[in-house]
Amino acid sequence: MRISAKVQNRVHASREAIMDCIINKDKLCNFFVSHSSSDLSSGAKVHWKWEDYNAETDVEVVSISPEQIVFKWPNIEKITTVTITIKEFEDYCDVIITEDDFLLNEEGAKQIMNQCQGWTDFICSLKAYLYCDINLRKDPRK
């Protein structure tokens, strides 16, 4: 049996503004990654770096629609699929991030907890950037 990581949060911005922050490499580098080799587009292979974590990975973009981004990336010993869905309402959007699939065991539970923490940080950092033009990934002492 498999289980998924899932986080959801409300963002007071248009779907287009949120999508642009995620798809546009220059904006993505202001809240999520330190470096992105290119913008996200369907079928693209993109390299991401997190200098603050000394980590990097390759991402394969499966699809992009007006309200959803789907990509695959390596997670420990296997490839997982991340789906970012943006549901627009009158004056806000719900950002829903699901990462599939993890084993239903102790190790899978640990991985899901780590991924939920990371995706929650993603949404909080997105909000800080969208609302206040603040990059939470940068060390203010440097």
pLDDT digits (tens, 9 = 90+) for 13-45: 999 999 999 999 999 999 999 999 999 999 999
What pLDDT sits at residue 71? Answer: 98
pLDDT at residue 3 tops 80: yes
Q: Per-residue confidence at 112, pLDDT binned at 50, 70, 90?
A: very high
What pLDDT sits at residue 96? Answer: 98
Q: What percent of the chain has pLDDT over 90?
A: 83
Residue 52 CB burial class (10 angstroms; 0-12, 13-18, ≥19): exposed
- Domain extent listing, the chain: 2-132
CATH fold, domain 2-132, is: Alpha-D-Glucose-1,6-Bisphosphate; Chain A, domain 4 (3.30.530)
d(CA 127, CA 31): 9
What pLDDT sits at residue 101? Answer: 84
Q: Per-residue confidence at 56, pLDDT binned at 50, 70, 90?
A: very high
